[in-house]
Amino acid sequence: MTLAAFVDEAAIASGAAELRGAASTVAFDRVSVAYRGAVVLKPLTLEVAAGEILAMIGPSGSGKTTALRAVAGFVRPASGRIRIGGVDVTDQPPYARGLAMVVQNYALFPHMRVFDNVAFGLHARGAPKSLIEERVAEALKVVGMTQYVRRYPRELSGGQQQRIAIARAHAVRPKVLLLDEPLSALDAQIRRSMVEEIARLHAELPGLTILYVTHDQSEALTLADRIAILKDGALSAVGRTGDLYRRPPNRFSAEFLGRANLVPVVVESDADASGLVAVRAGGERLIVSGADERAGASRLLCVRPQNLTLAPDDGHTNRLAGTLREIHWQGELTHLVAEVGGALMRVVATKLPTTPTRGERLDMFFSPDDASLIAEEADV
């Protein structure tokens, strides 16, 4: 089901105009949260620009959900302030902040029909009946669930319920939409199509700021304009999705956002004018991008499995030699694991001209642009 088929240009245009006025930024100003004496979120300073999707990702216990709940108002910060649209809302109760939230378990009110569920926020804020009817109809149209208006939640599937939950949030025109692992309860198949729907929804509503919490990095990569990676209650890395993926600033983000091969190297010479630098990995000399590097520094070379090829393609001037240890064909992709100087490197290929055998020597090629250097930290 494509969203486009149900989009009413006029309705969205008028909604969008209204939204642009209400579009809001979110600012964490040294926000920390403690629970029963233990610090769950260390002082966090983070800005979310108006109209963007920021994904907060991290393992369990990283504090990402706590940060979201602090914005919602369900958790009182131990220190710091939270600003929405420039206004300090830290002391405001949740119902006064002009937000809306969608949660993992949908939380559709089981005793109300779809119409009343979607109308709930408007009703609670005292909107007139005509506005309620108009907004509910439009919200259901946007998520493609118009024909289910009189059903009860128990009659809907998981994916359908989540769509209604999104419609319910959209109906109140929130300044910021909070999504707390909204797709985690759905089957993998449904999840894939829902991710695309959310992306389309955001494209149709340019004024809507979305704060998206998930532990699934592929959702973040698909949807987010920017990503904030949290670990153990602190911000590990934040940046535009593409930048963060191509040039991860630290080891944790390299390994959490996608898969990474990390090879210890030593910088041989200072960076040249074009931002390239030569490094030595075992016996090999490689050229990678690294604008500020100095000779003698030890770094981790980060190259993603899908950027390694088994033949010297265009521009893949770097070569690492290894021995093939494992090869797994998985339909769409073939996974190879090679040993290079005692460490394991992973390669992901869509097409292999020939199938290498275990124990064979394997040459892996990559382009300088596809690799980055990470400063080795003690333990981050």
Partner 1 sequence: MLVWSRSGKLAVWTFAALLVGVVFLAPLAVILAASFAGQWNGVLPSSFTFEHYAQAGGGASGEAVTASLATGVVASLLALISGAWAALALRAQGGAAAQTLGVLFFVPSAVPSVSVGLGLLVAFSQRPLLLNGTMAIVFIAHFVLISAFSFGNVSAGLARVSPDYEEVASSLGARPFYRLRRVTLPLVAPYLFAAFGLSFALSMGELGATVMVYPPGWVTLPVAIFGLTDRGDIFSGAALTMILVAVTLALLLALERVSAVGAQARSG
Partner 2 sequence: MSDAAASPRGTRVDLGALWVAPPLIALAVLFLYPLTLIAHAAVYDANDALNFAAAWATLGSRAFLNALINTAEIALAATAGSLALGLTLALIIAFVPFPGATFVARLIDTFIALPTFLATLAFTFLYGSAGVLNGALTQAFHLGDPPVHFLYSAWGVILAEMTVYSPFVLRPLLAAFSLVDRGQIEVASLLGARSWRIVRQVILPAALPAAIAGGSLCLLLTVNEFGIVLFIGAKGVITLPLLIYDKAIQESDYQAACVIAMINVALSLGLFGLYRAAARRLGA
366 contacts which partner out of partner 1, partner 2, none, CB within 5 to 8 A by kind?
none
**178 forms part of the interface with partner 1 (CB under 8 A):** yes
Neighbours of 337 (CB within 10 A): 17
Name the H helices within the chain: 9-22, 64-72, 114-124, 129-143, 158-171, 188-204, 217-223, 241-246, 251-256
Instruction: Tell me which of 2, 35, 61, 125 binds partner 1, using CB under 8 A.
Output: 125
Taking the complex as a whole, how short is the minimal distance between the CB of residue 371 and partner 2, in angstroms? 44
x/- map, 50-89, partner 2, by CB under 8 A: -----------------------xxxx-xx----------
- Which residue in 84, 167, 150, 159 sits closest to 113, CA to CA? 150
**99 forms part of the interface with partner 1 (CB under 8 A):** yes
Nearer to partner 2, 93 or 359 (CB): 93
- Which residue in 141, 202, 197 sits closest to 16, CA to CA? 202
Taking the complex as a whole, how short is the minimal distance between the CB of residue 76 and partner 2, in angstroms? 4
Q: How far apart are CA 114 and CA 315, in angstroms?
A: 55
**95 forms part of the interface with partner 1 (CB under 8 A):** yes
Q: At 188, list the tokens.
A: 């993998």
**110 forms part of the interface with partner 2 (CB under 8 A):** no
Taking the complex as a whole, how short is the minimal distance between the CB of residue 130 and partner 1, in angstroms? 18
- Which residue in 70, 83, 71 sits closest to 25, CA to CA? 83
**34 forms part of the interface with partner 2 (CB under 8 A):** yes
**94 forms part of the interface with partner 2 (CB under 8 A):** yes
Nearer to partner 2, 97 or 304 (CB): 97
**72 forms part of the interface with partner 1 (CB under 8 A):** yes
Phi/psi of residue 279, each to 5°?
A: -130, 160
Establish how many alpha carbons lie within 13 A of residue 59's alpha carbon, considering only the half-sphere containing its beta carbon: 7
x/- map, 334-353, partner 1, by CB under 8 A: --------------------
Of 6-14, 20-28, 110-118, 137-145, the window that binds partner 1 (rule: CB under 8 A) is 110-118
308-235-88 Cα angle (round to 5): 140
**182 forms part of the interface with partner 1 (CB under 8 A):** no
| 3-state SS, residue 312 | coil
8 A C-beta contact, residue 79 and residue 30: yes
Residues in contact with partner 1 by the rule CB under 8 A: 72-74, 93-103, 105, 107-112, 120-121, 124-125, 152-154, 165, 168-169, 172, 178
Chain residues binding partner 2 by CB under 8 A are 33-35, 73-76, 78-79, 93-94
